[in-house]
Structure 1
Amino acid sequence: MSGIVAAYGPFDPRLGRRMLERLAHRGPDGEGSRQVGDAWLGHRRLAVVDPEGGGQPLANDAGDVWLVGDGEIYNHRRLRADLGEQHFRTGSDHEAALRLFDRDGLEGAQRLWGTFAFAVAGEDGRFAAIRDTLGVAPLYWARRDGTVLFASELKAFDEDWRPEVEPFPTGQAWTPRDGLCEWSSSLSGPTALMRSRASDEDPPLWVFDAIRDSVVRAVETALRADVPVGAFLSGGLDSSVICAVAANAVRARGGTFHTFAAGLSDSPDLLAARRVADHIGSHHHERVYTAEEAIELVPDVIWMLESFDPMLIHSAVPNHLVATLARDDVKAVLIGEGADELFAGYSHYAEIETGEALREELLETIRGLHNLGLQRVDRVTSANGIEARIPFLDLDVVDLALALPPDWKLTREDRAEKWLLRRAFEGWLPDDLLWRGKQQFGQGTGMKDVLSDHFGRTVTEEELEQERDAVDPPLRTREELAYYRIFREHLRGIEPDHTIGRFVEA
């Protein structure tokens, strides 16, 4: 992921340059900025597509429309063919978004397929900021005295702007003329064909084929890059499936796929990852760390994560350590995020008894991904100068998964959690790994107990009672208060009530 800053209205470029400096970790490969009419655009670049010629801001032929973007436009090759390759000046995927906006305005965004956030401005006063359907690419904004300001992370904003900062809505665009408007279709519902089947029927075999084929295509798409691509491998179902597919695709091209894992010595995830790597034949890298190392990293992780939620921190610490390992060998990584939300993998889903109730819970979870799991993925990879790619959140996979009858996803005595996904990939992994029970990443790596015990001891029950209501909803545990104090120190001025996502359970 790269870093963007954009402003519309009266604006001091010195503020923009300060903001870009705070995003330097997101873009170690270049920096650029430009005043365009009533707008200012700034960019910090992580070069993944067209490393030599794709610097930003990008301009059209006339030099009067410019764009800065973060993330990936996965269908840019098809768009180039439709728009005319002769009109393109670079190999950058974001140039397709620029050309569409220049020709069709905001309506052109409906043809984009990918995970992105961008701002585009014209000398004629046109301006738009846009974020992808699921919010995989981060974007925040603040409005004051006729100026609208955008950035990829909370920490980019000057302290006096931070009380106004909010997450930019997913699947939305903003223009000076129309304000906020929805540009992407909402998450789909079950198709008529799927609804025609009884909920207690086993799915037809083609359903498993469709799930597998969609995931395989999404992984193959995510492997496209002009730089080396690897994957985080936790040993759980989701990352193991992604790695098995990727290793097979890379081997077919005559290459060897790189996988990366981190954990405490002999932690369950680390042991499982070794077995998966051996089975798929990947070049496997490990980072074994101590409890003391993990504890010492927490303040830095809270700063990069921009959250004080305990569950996020439990997983962000090992994620950060595996990212520091991966950055020496690859520039982009595949990550298994999203499968739990699409196929009902979390333990609390097992308590839901009806398909309709499960569907509503899944949709609510997916809508909240952008400032929970996806925020963790984005921040820890961006802080280490690598790009995260998430095949399970490819929109084709999302559409298919949400079109399946939710009753098929219910956990029953004869159906483990995510059984649809497990069945679809039978034969790709050893059965004991394919049907291994779900563990939260912070639990499998050993982080949950280590961090909860240590930071819980730094706060008393009396202090928790006194400070519990500092945020809404209230702080839940002594551990969470300890993290909140660190967050408040590192991100002064941020109003957490409307910017920070938090899991229901600590």
Structure 2
Amino acid sequence: MCGIAAQHRTDSTPDLDAGTRMLLALAHRGPDDSDHRTVGEHAWLGHTRLSIVDLDGGRQPLTAPDGWSLVCNGEIYNHEQVRAELGGAVFGTASDSEAALALLRTGGPAELHRLRGMWALCAAAPDGRFVAARDPLGIKPLYWARRGAAVHFASELRAFPAEVQDAVESFPPGCYWTPEAGVVRFATAVPAADPAVWEGIAPEVAEKATREALVDSVRRHLMADVEVGVFLSGGLDSSLVAAIAAEHCAERGRRLKTFAVGTEGSADLLAARAAAEHLGTEHHEAVFTAREAIEVLDEVVASVESFDASLIRSAVPNWFLSELASRHVKAVLTGEGADELFAGYSYYHAEHATGLDAELVRTLEELHGLNLQRCDRVTMAHGLEARVPFLDAEVIAHATALPAAYKALEPDGMEKGHLRRAFTGWLPEELLWRRKEQFGTGSGAQDLLSPYWADRVPDADLAAAADALGVRTKEELAYYRVFRRALPAVRPDRVLTRFATA
């Protein structure tokens, strides 16, 4: 995991001073190293590194013998397969990112669909060729600002020079950009699915396939030359990830590290403790108070780069969790994405009982600007990499192909019954069938934050801001003010996705 910045200019040479400032703004994303390079007459690439794979040889920008250079943020889990498929291609490092560089050099940006993982990249050649691209789901962030003949790219909004902040936009997932072709889509977030594939198949067969898909993904996401832990909330999704990872570590003579957070006595903290005890992990906890939650709000909002109230509520406990985990590991697995794949939220069933598949696809496609943005920013603020095995391309393809009936509520109203049955025996029944609580609720954060603003933001302020700024609650207005202080010129309509309700 890293931070990247880049410039492409056709009117002059790149602005090296601006590039240096962009890299400094991203230092938290890559505390281990930083470097940059001018490529040809028109491009500049910068990189801050958190060393996860090929600790000694993976420094970026990576450069090929023909002068092509690349900076990449993220992880490419099938890089060994890509290397094997390219046969005669020459590799100078063991870095997973070099597989992306090799594809660009041998087949061009249309070949990027072969990469499996979470990544955003910029690459340039001495002859003026330039490519920027982002993974199909947008797990890793990438923004850009186009002004005249200059184009800037960066991993976070805060990195852009003040003079172009008002032009910054979110770079579209599953797309690449070149100066010649513009924006070109190379992959979709969710592949076309044919639920008829599963018609007439016994539920037990589908459950086995779901289990195998997730087990394979978790094991693949443990790829690293450093230790990888798990964020464990005690809910179904993170507990399943922890169970698979714990088994994998045990096979290799290691003990998995797990991390939980909450207010004293909160539901998530207690459930995570029980799951860790059952799995035999080395478990660590962070307990936060109301005072501490309020004290970090400005930092959290500025880091998440959003003012959506639901996002900030869940980001606050994640802040303390990331701070804790970063003292022990460099990377963690999370349970993000399971609810969007297997219909874990109650509104899916209350409002979309018909048309469920379409709503699941819609929310998956918006994740890059919501939960994935929160997950990336809060962890990277502490130099920690977060990986999301539920959002592996093969897991997404499998889950979205399952008929909607497999994602319907159980007779007692329990959600995700199919996923729970797929892992019968992996967890105690009381954890396997624990009812869903959103992270901001289960950790105790919502009870601390939502009421806090009732008497602190005047009614008149909200009434004036609701129409002018589109904020919906006093809490959201408070976060908007922090957002605006951190990013005074950024246009929220160009860079933010928001939950349907605050």
Partner residue in 2 for 1:312: 311
* Distance in structure 1 (CA, Å) of the matches to 2:367 and 2:352: 23
SS at match of 2:145: strand
Deviation (angstroms), 1:380: 0.8
Deviation (angstroms), 1:86: 7.1
Instruction: Using structure 2 for the length normalisation, give the TM-score.
Output: 0.97
| Partners of 1:5 and 1:42 within 8 A in 2 | yes
Deviation (angstroms), 1:14: 0.7
* Distance in structure 2 (CA, Å) of the matches to 1:457 and 1:488: 22
| Partners of 2:173 and 2:189 within 8 A in 1 | no
Calculate percent identity across the aligned residue pairs. Answer: 50
Aligned partner letter, 1:371: G
Partner residue in 2 for 1:60: 64
Deviation (angstroms), 1:353: 5.4
* Distance in structure 1 (CA, Å) of the matches to 2:234 and 2:266: 11
* Distance in structure 1 (CA, Å) of the matches to 2:489 and 2:17: 20
1:189 to 2:212 alignment: no
Partner residue in 2 for 1:432: 430
1:41 to 2:9 alignment: no
SS at match of 2:187: coil
Q: 2:171 aligns with which of 161, 168, 172?
A: 168
Aligned partner letter, 1:296: E
Partner residue in 1 for 2:475: 479
* Distance in structure 1 (CA, Å) of the matches to 2:430 and 2:127: 61
List per-residue Cα deviations over 1:208-228 (Å, max 9, x = no partner).
001000100111011110011
Where does 1:80-479 land on structure 2 (aligned, <5 Å)? 80-84=83-87, 87-185=90-188, 187-191=190-194, 193-194=196-197, 196-197=199-200, 203-352=202-351, 354-355=353-354, 357-414=355-412, 416-471=414-469, 474-479=470-475
Aligned partner letter, 2:467: D
Aligned length: 498
Deviation (angstroms), 1:186: 5.2
SS at match of 1:160: helix
Deviation (angstroms), 1:78: 1.1
* Distance in structure 1 (CA, Å) of the matches to 2:369 and 2:414: 28
Aligned partner letter, 2:399: A
* Distance in structure 2 (CA, Å) of the matches to 1:4 and 1:282: 34
Deviation (angstroms), 1:204: 2.6
List per-residue Cα deviations over 1:107-166 (Å, max 9, x = no partner).
221221111000110011111100001000100011001111110001111222111001
* Distance in structure 2 (CA, Å) of the matches to 1:257 and 1:186: 31
Deviation (angstroms), 1:415: 5.8
* Range moving further from structure 2, 133-142 or 110-119: 110-119
* Distance in structure 2 (CA, Å) of the matches to 1:464 and 1:143: 34
Aligned partner letter, 1:24: A
Aligned partner letter, 2:254: G
Partner residue in 1 for 2:25: 22
SS at match of 2:296: helix
SS at match of 1:3: strand
| Partners of 1:456 and 1:482 within 8 A in 2 | no
* Distance in structure 2 (CA, Å) of the matches to 1:498 and 1:210: 40
* Distance in structure 1 (CA, Å) of the matches to 2:51 and 2:404: 40
* Distance in structure 1 (CA, Å) of the matches to 2:198 and 2:468: 46
1:502 to 2:498 alignment: yes
| Partners of 1:140 and 1:151 within 8 A in 2 | yes
Instruction: Using structure 1 for the length normalisation, give the TM-score.
Output: 0.96
* Distance in structure 1 (CA, Å) of the matches to 2:410 and 2:219: 33
Deviation (angstroms), 1:203: 4.7
Aligned partner letter, 2:253: G
List per-residue Cα deviations over 1:271-309 (Å, max 9, x = no partner).
000000001110000111111111111001001110111
| Partners of 1:262 and 1:322 within 8 A in 2 | yes
Aligned partner letter, 1:419: G
- Shift of the 429–3 alpha-carbon distance from structure 1 to 2, 3 Å rule, reads same
Partner residue in 2 for 1:492: 488
Partner residue in 1 for 2:5: 5
* Distance in structure 2 (CA, Å) of the matches to 1:70 and 1:86: 22
* Range moving further from structure 2, 455-464 or 288-297: 455-464
List per-residue Cα deviations over 1:16-45 (Å, max 9, x = no partner).
110110000000011111111221111111
Deviation (angstroms), 1:195: 6.0
* Range moving further from structure 2, 267-276 or 180-189: 180-189
* Distance in structure 2 (CA, Å) of the matches to 1:29 and 1:367: 32
Deviation (angstroms), 1:396: 0.5
SS at match of 1:100: helix
Deviation (angstroms), 1:466: 1.0
Contiguous gaps of at least 5 residues in structure 2: none
- Shift of the 320–85 alpha-carbon distance from structure 1 to 2, 3 Å rule, reads farther
SS at match of 1:312: helix
List per-residue Cα deviations over 1:450-505 (Å, max 9, x = no partner).
1111133220111100111233xx21111111111111111111111221121111
Aligned partner letter, 2:457: V
Partner residue in 2 for 1:79: 82
* Distance in structure 1 (CA, Å) of the matches to 2:325 and 2:408: 36
* Distance in structure 1 (CA, Å) of the matches to 2:18 and 2:330: 30
* Distance in structure 1 (CA, Å) of the matches to 2:424 and 2:184: 43
| Partners of 2:190 and 2:365 within 8 A in 1 | no
What's the Cα RMSD here? 1.4
List per-residue Cα deviations over 1:78-128 (Å, max 9, x = no partner).
112222477111111001111111111112212211110001100111111
| Partners of 1:188 and 1:403 within 8 A in 2 | no
* Distance in structure 2 (CA, Å) of the matches to 1:327 and 1:192: 41
Aligned partner letter, 2:338: A
Aligned partner letter, 2:245: A
